[in-house]
Structure 1
Amino acid sequence: MRIGELAARAGVSVRSLRYYEEQGLLTSTRSASGQRHYTEAHVERVTFLQRMYAAGLSSRTIAELLPCVDSPSEATSDAALDRMAEERERLSEHIEDLIRTREALDRLMATNRAHRASLRSTVPG
């Protein structure tokens, strides 16, 4: 199948497929005229890539995990699990930072509300 059909079947843009190829996440064969051609397995590959992106993984991280998919073994599985654990820890730290930021904003909002309340009490009615 050609790139447009793969894009339609996988629910992604042609641009995304080209990006995946640039990043080494997807490969195609080329016709004599240079057109990309894909197989049914590529639909599953793109769907898998989309799940990885939805999990917040970068292209670089996905590339690091692909040996587990392309050449499954205990070693590649262990390496992938370790890498995903690192990503999970990174996300957890980011979430903690966001919670602290939200709490700081909550404090600012409380200060603003208190200030507004004090303005109401000093305004003659």
Structure 2
Amino acid sequence: MYDLESLTEAAGTTIRDVRYYIQRGVLPPPLNSSNGSYYTEDHLERLRLVVELAGKGVPLSRIKYCLDQVEQGQDAAGLLPKLDLPPRLRQERLLLSNEISLHYPPDFFNEAELLDIAGFFQQLLTAKAGGGNG
């Protein structure tokens, strides 16, 4: 069982993304118990797939359609080739915090630039946490 924070950490995504995926119907809502809401291994598996496909630039509506078809018994192998996007529509993703991620075209940034962006963002978060105005 996972709480929201441990689910996002295990899947490499943000809390904001999980809430959005639930709102859009791509991820089922958490289960409830007397101890509060929780997520299962099924949630994690589905979330990892959604994150992977979304990271490749696949629209959520398309991801939802394919996942719904799989749940109805259609073979996933027949659906996945339909998800191959032209290179101009693919996206990479850099997780900056638990709430923020950067999406960008492949080969747009080199590794040094990505490290600079991550470092700058961490400095910004540190300044915000310290009461700075940015």
Shorter-normalised TM range: 0.5 to 0.7
Quick one: higher RCO (CA 8 Å, sep 6+), 1 or 2?
2
Is residue 5 from structure 1 mapped to residue 6 from structure 2 by the alignment?
yes
Cα 1:49–1:22 shift into 2, 3 Å: same
SS in 2 for 1:52: helix
Cα 1:31–1:68 shift into 2, 3 Å: same
Deviation per residue, 1:60-118 (Å, 9 max, x gap): 111111124323325x764x357436xx3xx36879xxxxxxxxxxxxxxxxxxxxxxx
SS in 2 for 1:7: helix
Equivalent-residue separation in structure 1 for 2:3 and 2:89 (angstroms): 40
How far 1:49 moved relative to its partner? 0.6
Unmatched tracts of structure 2, length 5 or more: 91-134
RMSD after superposition: 2.8
The total of aligned residue pairs comes to: 88
How far 1:57 moved relative to its partner? 0.7
Given that 1:65 and 1:83 are in contact with CA atoms closer than 8 Å, whether structure 2 keeps it comes out as no
What is the TM-score of this pair, normalised by structure 2?
0.52
What is the TM-score of this pair, normalised by structure 1?
0.56
**1:69-108 residue pairs with structure 2 within 5 A?**
69-74=70-75, 78=78, 80-81=79-80, 83-84=82-83, 88=85, 91=86
Larger radius of gyration: 1
Match of 1:99 in 2: none
**Letter aligned with residue 84 of structure 1:** L
Match of 2:47 in 1: 46
The structure with the greater share of residues assigned to helix is: 1
How far 1:32 moved relative to its partner? 5.4
Given that 1:68 and 1:77 are in contact with CA atoms closer than 8 Å, whether structure 2 keeps it comes out as no
Equivalent-residue separation in structure 1 for 2:24 and 2:80 (angstroms): 21
Equivalent-residue separation in structure 2 for 1:29 and 1:48 (angstroms): 20
Equivalent-residue separation in structure 1 for 2:9 and 2:49 (angstroms): 15
Cα 1:57–1:94 shift into 2, 3 Å: closer
SS in 2 for 1:64: helix
**Letter aligned with residue 4 of structure 2:** I
Match of 2:67 in 1: 66
Given that 2:57 and 2:89 are in contact with CA atoms closer than 8 Å, whether structure 1 keeps it comes out as no
SS in 1 for 2:54: helix
